[in-house]
Structures are given as structure tokens and as C-alpha cells.
């Protein structure tokens, strides 16, 4: 039977406010939010007897569950790096209750049949709620056109180098994709020709083992801007619902708007946690562990992205969680895999920015919980509201956690944050009213649910 839960004395962060309140959960949904100032909580002793579980959250902050709209859980076909069970387990330990997974698996998710197979896998294995992108190619426009926008989060378009055959470099195909109605297009934007030219130049100088500090020169600002501008121009021409993934430069910010509500935007954008907490000075310390695409750029870009979160030029925060084995990361530069695991520690890392007075707690909730729900129009998630799914997270801001190899849950077994002390502890994570994680203990049944979208 679904749990009936009473969370009492929590500091609730929701919709721009922080209030002390009690929250009740029944049948997987938020039943009531009882602010202490209202006097309604005076009857809590009588109410306790009707609930199967009472959690005293005194001193803890209660947030909506984080929605990560950009992950790579590597299943099927790449499960030596990660799988849906291991990475969703890491997700709920980090307060992430819903995720959207990318199509570069084996086989690549470029047909609706393969897409549905992934949904079936997740229904059996995922501790968190889930959706999956369909990957675009130069020749699967018919599959894209048949996609149900209510049950699929969107179409992933690689407008820059990719694995396999998912680089969409045919302008005729791009125009067809951007002209489709009702489906969200999520674009990885790096110009392939600029990157290839840079590779040729620096390979001739350094050979295969280019110092990793050159990564933001190979995958340059110019490559990012040129591709993002093309995507935005196409979206304006065809009135496409476009989402720009992992913005990494201050120059790209000039392509976005911040003077209209998110609900009215046709072009939205995201920043990834690693672009907010690292800059190019960290290559010397972290090496290839922070080799990601698009590359981590300089301090000015990092600061511009953080400011853009507050001004609304960047709409949301995701992780681009992309595990590889440690050996795959440590190969010579041109063979070293790009991507890093981040989902277990993303919320705590963002709270680190709050502790540095760079962003507010309400802004973190806005960018990691509310905005992803609004941007993708997810049905009844992302907020602490009566009748919404009870995806909730309790956080202790007074209990620092040091990342070490013993407490990493990623299947790959490493993190670029090893040795870092993060300023908060995730104590409880609820998925659809089910207590999936509690102080290091997992309750992995029932599993998460397929996300539904209002489009």
C-alpha cells in the first residue's frame, strides 16, 4: 500500500519562498502543505495517528525533487560504464527524483522500437522517474515525426561531432526537424568543421597526447557560438520549441532572452554543474577527469554563466552526467573519453555556490526543480503543491560531506570531486511518495514512473 507520510517542522523552499511548514503525503501525492504561521499545524498530534510514517525535519530544508533533463546512463550496450539501476541509485542519493536520458547508447536510440525498449528497462530498474530522448540522424525523420510528445521528452540533435551516425549535418534534414510541430528539440551545439580544423592544427604540433589544457581551444568558443547561433536562427525561422544543451560560453548568452516568462519562451537554455563549479585553471589539478564536451572554459565564462542563472538568460541547471571508466579517461588526449559523472553530487555542489553567496537557495530550486518542469511541461512535478507527485528531498545544510571512493555510488567508481568537501547532506529522497533513500539506506521498490508531458 502507498505510504501515508507526515513531514513536520521542515523549512520548505518552494516558489521563491522559504517557510516553516508541515507537508503530508497520501497515495503518492502531496496532500497538504501546512505553514506554521497558519495555525493549522496545531492539530498535528491528532493527525499523526492517521499516517504510517512521521518524519521530524527540524533543521532540515525540504525541496521539490531535482529534475535532471540531461543524463547518460549508458544502458543498453555500455553497461561496463554505468546502467540504469546504478545511476538512478546515485541520482536519488543526490536528491534527483526524475531524469531524461540521452540516445547515444548501443544500439543508438534512433527508432521508436529501441526507445520503447529503454522505457521497459527503466520500468524494471530505475529508482527515479524517467524519460528518454529519441536521437536524430540524417535519415530518420519519419521516426521523429511519429514521436508522441506527451510520452517522450524530446528529440536530441547533435549539431556537432557525435558518436555513431547521430551527427546531423544535412541542412535539409535540420530544416525538416526544426519545422515539426509540438516536439521539443534539444541540441548539442558545437561546429564540426571548426573542431576538425583545430584538431588538425594541434595534432600536427603535439601528436596524440595533447595536454588537456588545450581542450577548450580544440572545442573552442567559436565552435560553440557558431553552432548555437545556427540552431537559434533555425528555431526563430520555424518557430521551433528549442532547448540548447550545456551552454559553456558568455558569448552564447547574447543569443537568449530574459525579458519574457519561461512559459512563453520558444528557445530555452541550460548550464551544467561542471561549467558552474570548474574553470580552465582546474585542468592542472583534475586533468582529463574534467574533459567534457563542450569544454570547460575560462573563469570569465564560469562567472557569466552563474550570473545568467540569476538574470534568466540561462533557464535551468542539469548535469550531463556521463560516466566512463577511469582507464577510458586516462588515455592520451585524442583517445580519452569526454564526460564526467555528476548526478550524485550536483545538488550539493550547487549548494556550495550558495555558501559562497553566488546564488540563493530559492534560485537553486528554481533552476533545478521548477524550471525543468516548466521548460519540458512535465505533468504535476517540480513543485511542492497539493495534488502534485510527492517527489521531495530533505537536505541538512549543516552537515558537510567529503566525497571519497567509499561513498561514490557511480558504477564507474570515480568523481572529479574526490577529496572535495561539499557543504550539505541529502538525508531523505521521496519518489512518488515512496521513501527511496534515507541516510544511506535505499528502498528500491517500487520503481520510478514514466514522465508525462503536457504539450
**Region(s) of the chain under CATH 3.20.20.140:** 66-376
Q: How confident is the model at residue 455 (pLDDT cuts 50, 70, 90)?
A: confident
Among 452, 454, 438, which residue's Cα sits nearest to residue 127?
Answer: 438
pLDDT in tens, 409-434: 999 999 999 999 999 999 999 999 99
CATH of 5-63+388-399+422-442, one of 3.60.15.10, 2.30.40.10, 3.30.1300.10, 3.40.50.10330: 2.30.40.10
pLDDT, mean of residues 206-227: 95
Is residue 146 helix, strand or coil? Answer: coil
**Region(s) of the chain under CATH 2.30.40.10:** 5-63+388-399+422-442
pLDDT at 10 over 90: yes
pLDDT of residue 136: 97
pLDDT of residue 203: 92
Strand 66-71 with 5-14, pairing = unpaired
pLDDT at 39 over 60: no
**What angle, 0 to 180 degrees and rounded to 10, lies between the N-to-C axes of helices 84-93 and 112-125?**
60
User: Which DSSP symbol is given to 338?
Assistant: P
pLDDT, mean of residues 10-31: 97
pLDDT of residue 160: 73
pLDDT, mean of residues 392-415: 98
397 burial type by CB count under 10 A (0-12 exposed, 13-18 middle, 19+ buried)? middle
Lowest pLDDT segment from 117-126, 162-171, 364-373, 418-427:
162-171
pTM: 0.97
pLDDT at 42 over 80: no
pLDDT of residue 164: 65
pLDDT in tens, 260-295: 999 999 999 999 999 999 999 999 999 999 999 999
Could you give the percent of the chain with pLDDT greater than 90? Answer: 91
pLDDT at 172 over 90: yes
pLDDT in tens, 104-158: 999 999 999 999 999 999 999 999 999 999 999 999 999 999 999 999 999 999 9
Cα distance between residue 10 and residue 445, in whole Å: 25
Cα distance between residue 197 and residue 176, in whole Å: 28
CATH 3.40.50.920 describes domain 66-376? no
Amino acid at each position: 500500500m502507498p505510504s501515508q507520510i507526515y513531514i513536520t517542522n521542515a523549512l520548505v523552499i518552494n516558489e521563491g519562498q522559504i517557510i516553516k511548514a508541515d507537508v503530508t503525503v497520501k497515495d503518492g501525492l502531496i496532500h497538504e502543505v501546512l505553514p506554521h504561521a497558519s495555525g493549522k499545524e496545531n492539530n498535528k498530534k491528532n493527525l499523526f495517528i492517521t499516517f504510517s510514517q512521521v518524519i521530524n525535519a527540524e533543521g532540515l530544508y525540504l525541496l521539490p525533487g531535482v529534475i535532471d533533463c540531461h543524463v547518460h546512463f549508458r544502458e543498453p550496450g555500455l553497461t561496463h560504464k554505468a546502467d540504469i539501476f546504478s545511476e538512478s541509485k546515485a541520482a536519488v542519493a543526490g536528491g534527483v527524483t526524475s531524469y531524461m536520458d540521452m540516445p547515444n547508447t548501443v544500439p543508438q536510440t534512433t527508432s521508436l522500437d529501441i526507445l520503447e525498449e529503454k522505457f521497459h528497462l527503466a520500468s524494471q530498474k530505475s529508482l527515479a522517474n524517467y524519460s528518454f530522448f529519441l536521437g536524430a540522424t540524417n535519415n530518420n525523420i519519419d521516426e521523429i515525426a511519429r514521436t508522441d510528445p506527451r510520452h517522450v521528452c524530446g528529440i536530441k540533435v547533435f549539431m556537432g561531432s557525435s558518436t555513431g551516425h547521430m551527427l546531423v549535418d544535412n541542412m535539409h534534414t535540420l530544416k525538416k526537424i526544426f519545422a515539426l510541430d509540438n516536439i521539443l528539440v534539444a541540441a548539442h551545439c558545437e561546429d564540426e568543421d571548426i573542431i576538425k580544423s583545430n584538431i588538425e592544427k594541434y595534432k600536427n604540433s603535439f601528436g596524440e597526447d595533447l595536454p588537456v589544457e588545450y581542450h577548450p581551444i580544440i572545442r573552442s568558443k567559436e565552435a560553440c557560438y557558431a553552432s548555437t547561433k545556427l540552431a537559434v536562427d533555425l528555431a526563430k525561422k520555424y518557430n521551433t520549441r528549442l532547448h540548447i544543451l550545456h551552454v559553456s560560453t558568455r558569448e552564447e548568452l547574447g543569443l537568449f532572452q530574459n525579458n519574457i516568462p519561461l512559459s512563453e519562451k520558444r528557445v530555452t537554455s541550460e548550464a551544467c554543474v561542471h561549467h558552474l563549479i570548474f574553470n580552465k585553471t582546474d585542468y592542472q589539478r583534475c586533468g582529463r577527469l574534467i574533459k567534457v564536451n563542450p569544454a570547460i572554459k575560462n573563469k570569465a565564462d564560469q562567472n557569466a554563466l552563474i550570473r545568467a542563472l540569476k538574470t534568466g538568460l540561462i533557464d535551468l541547471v542539469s548535469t550531463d552526467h556521463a560516466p566512463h571508466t577511469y582507464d577510458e579517461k586516462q588515455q592520451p588526449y585524442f583517445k580519452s573519453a569526454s564526460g564526467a559523472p555528476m548526478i550524485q553530487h550536483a545538488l550539493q555542489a550547487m549548494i556550495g555556490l550558495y555558501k559562497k553567496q553566488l546564488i540563493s537557495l530559492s534560485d537553486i530550486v528554481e533552476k533545478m526543480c521548477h524550471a525543468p518542469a516548466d521548460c519540458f511541461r512535465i505533468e504535476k512535478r517540480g513543485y511542492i503543491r497539493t495534488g502534485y507527485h510527492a517527489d521531495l528531498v530533505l537536505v541538512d545544510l549543516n552537515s558537510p560531506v567529503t566525497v571519497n571512493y567509499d561513498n561514490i555510488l557511480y558504477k564507474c567508481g570515480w568523481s572529479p570531486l574526490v577529496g572535495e568537501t561539499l557543504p550539505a547532506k541529502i538525508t531523505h529522497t521521496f519518489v512518488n511518495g515512496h521513501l527511496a533513500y534515507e541516510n544511506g539506506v535505499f528502498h528500491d521498490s517500487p520503481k520510478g514512473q514514466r514522465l508525462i508531458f503536457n504539450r
